[in-house]
Homo-oligomer: A and B are copies of this chain.
Amino acid sequence: MKKAVILLSGGLDSTTTLAIAQKEGFTLYGLTFRYGQRHQFEIAASQKIAQVYNLADHIITEINLRAFGGSALTDDIDVPKDRSVNTMKESIPITYVPARNTIFLSFTLAWAEVLNTRHIFLGINAMDYSGYPDCRPEYIQSFETMANLATKAGTEGNQPITIHTPLISMTKGDIIKKGLALGVDYSLTRSCYDPDDEGTACGRCDSCRLRQKGFREAGTTDPINYSVLP
């Protein structure tokens, strides 16, 4: 039985990654962060997804990135709206949360080491994304190198840590096609940076626009509701 730790945000990418990892035969341990984000809808989504996929364990852990601020997702800064998906990745937007993926991956590393497994799954994507530096392949490779120097597992040499990022080179459309082929129910997932009080997606932030582009490319419609349709 191959065990793996997976970062589960409740979004489209991490849920597709979960379906891929499960299809590959991994027994999955899901990790979700309550990190001071603006809303809790994605955490509720992650819980539902963990249930539906019958994960071996699901830890929701709290860290306070609001103590540092510096991002529209963890501070009182407006989320940018209506940006073009074609130019999004040209600069790093204010929704970038400083060092967030590094913090998240560090915790998966701790859990993987305790579970005595070398496998970590992460649903990041460097094609249709917001230009965050910690979503690029060279970042993941350097994290892996560091992780193997940091840990008992890596140091003792028999179990080098591997960060699996099956979506990293896929377009949003291909991710959705892949997920649909694996039976993913995307109505369970939440992607919006700035939903309304009922959790309805805004339709205008980077994350909504990339998601809608993906469904268009996949030739199907998104099952979730939006306040504004593109």
- A residues neighboring B (CB under 8 Å): 59, 61-65, 67-70, 92, 96-103, 105-107, 109-111, 113-114, 133-134, 136, 138-139, 142-143, 145-147, 149-152, 154-156
Contact = CB atoms under 8 A, between A and B. Distances in A.
Contact of A145 (B100, B106, B134, B146): B146
Chain copies in the assembled complex:
2
Chain A, interface SS category: helix
Minimum-distance CB pairs A-B, first 7: A70-B114, A99-B110, A98-B113, A142-B146, A99-B109, A103-B106, A133-B155
Contacts of A156: 92
A126 to B, nearest CB: 12
A103 B107 contact: yes
Contact of A110 (B68, B133, B151): B68
A59 to B, nearest CB: 5
Given A92-B155, A155-B92, A99 B142 contact: no
